[in-house]
Amino acid sequence: MENNSYTTNFFFTAYGDLGFMRNIYFIATLIVYLVIHLVNAVILIVIVCDRNLHEPMYIFICSLVINGLYGTNAFYIKFMENLLSRNPSISRTGCLLQVFAMHTYGSFEFSILGLMAYDRYVSICNPLLYNNIMTPSKVTSLLCFAYLYPICIFTIHISLTVRLPLCGYLIDKVYCDNWSVVKLSCTDVSINSVFGFFVTTFLMVPPLMLTLFSYTKIISVSIKASKEARSKTAKTCLPHLVTFINYSVATFFEILHQRFDASALPHDLRGFMSIDFVLLPPLLNPVIYGIKTKQIRKSAIKINN
């Protein structure tokens, strides 16, 4: 195969031949993009403007909203541009920037959801000590770590990818991810593969274990509580569980899709599942945490009036 180490563009093959549907998909995507920005902006403004919502739970929700907007812009802008293109492509620099943005977005989301599970554990299992444990400085430190840790890890991860000579330019997706670029290399990628495994482990296992630990403790306490207390706990935790399970399933599918042959699955299903982790959370989070959270709903109505 010809060595294309200096390839300046990658071409996406997953778009297929959209034909007359191209404009319809673009309009639908644009509407979703605008709705995501609108609903997330409303939640963000409500939380920032209402000082009564400057508590850990709402700060974490605010972080989810900001991260949702970050991931949305990392994916949708180029996706919509390519919907209108006869040859969907991206520059090499743009691809690597998208890789960094998409991967850090995913890690931020998972880390924040893990911190939200911990926040619920402290609130339900240690309510009298909650204010002493979840202090502003501690919440700030946890969020800084949740953001800086993935940035450092992926800076190293993508640095290993940048050095690779490439012998191809076709990516069978609608966006760039690290493994798709690595697979185009002309040389041995064992180091990238092993490091990628450790990156996945170090970034996904801690939030997952923190969430499992938190809900194990919450369930243990809830079993001994009154019916009213269990109902209140369920209302508090259910939105987070729905968000966490949806995001975990989508993320694990994407990891399996990257590492193993998923050609046996229908093309449309593979395409949807590969973008589910960036498609649904920015839409679901404002609905789950905004419309379903009484305090945010009341504050939104107050600000509107």
Task: Please give the angle made by the CA atoms of 99, 100 and 102, to the nearest 5 degrees.
Answer: 65
Q: Which CATH number fits domain 9-304: 3.30.1510.10, 1.10.10.60, 3.20.20.70, 1.20.1070.10?
A: 1.20.1070.10
d(CA 136, CA 146): 15
Identify the CA nearest to 173 among candidates 229, 243, 98, 235. Answer: 98
Q: Above 50 in pLDDT, residue 40? A: yes
d(CA 186, CA 304): 58
Q: Above 70 in pLDDT, residue 99? A: yes
Q: What is the pLDDT at residue 3?
A: 46
More confident residue, 200 or 292: 200
Q: What is the pLDDT at residue 237?
A: 84
CB 193 within 8 A of CB 164: no
The residues, any chain, with a CB within 8 Å of residue 151's CB and separated by 6 or more, are 104
Q: Above 90 in pLDDT, residue 94? A: yes
**What digits encode the pLDDT tens for the residues 188-246?**
899 998 998 888 888 889 999 999 999 999 998 888 878 888 888 887 788 888 888 88
Percent of the chain with pLDDT over 70: 89
> Which amino acid is it at 203?
L
3-state secondary structure of 197: helix
What integer is the mean pLDDT of 164-175? 88
Residue with tokens 């243990």: 220
d(CA 199, CA 205): 10
Percent of the chain with pLDDT over 90: 46
Task: Please give the angle made by the CA atoms of 118, 123 and 127, to the nearest 5 degrees.
Answer: 140
Q: Above 80 in pLDDT, residue 52? A: yes
Q: Above 60 in pLDDT, residue 15? A: yes
List phi, psi (to 5°) of 91: -70, 160
CB 170 within 8 A of CB 15: no
Q: Please tell me the least confidently modeled range out of 15-29, 159-173, 211-225.
A: 15-29
d(CA 47, CA 41): 10
The pLDDT-based confidence of 104 (bands split at 50, 70, 90) is very high
d(CA 232, CA 84): 48
**What digits encode the pLDDT tens for the residues 129-155?**
999 999 999 999 999 999 999 999 999
The pLDDT-based confidence of 16 (bands split at 50, 70, 90) is confident
The pLDDT-based confidence of 113 (bands split at 50, 70, 90) is very high
More confident residue, 226 or 120: 120
| The pairing of beta strand 89-91 with beta strand 9-12 | antiparallel
Q: Above 70 in pLDDT, residue 261? A: no
Could you tell me the strand order of the sheet in which 9-12 lies? Answer: 89-91, 9-12, 170-171
**For residue 187, what are the CA distances in angstroms to 2, 69, 167, 214?**
13, 36, 9, 44
Q: Please tell me the least confidently modeled range out of 84-93, 204-213, 246-255.
A: 246-255
3-state secondary structure of 183: coil
Strands (E) across the chain are located at 9-12, 89-91, 170-171
The residues, any chain, with a CB within 8 Å of residue 122's CB and separated by 6 or more, are 129, 130, 133, 134
Q: What is the pLDDT at residue 260?
A: 66
The pLDDT-based confidence of 2 (bands split at 50, 70, 90) is very low
What is the biggest distance separating any 2 CA atoms in the chain, rounded to whole angstroms?
Answer: 70
- List 90's β-bridge partners, or say none: 10
End-to-end, the C-alpha distance of the chain in Å comes to 65
Using the Cα atoms of residue 251, residue 109, residue 104 and residue 95 in order, give the sign of their dihedral: positive
The winner for highest mean pLDDT among 36-50, 224-238, 275-289 is 36-50
CB 108 within 8 A of CB 148: no
The pLDDT-based confidence of 62 (bands split at 50, 70, 90) is very high
Q: What is the pLDDT at residue 234?
A: 80
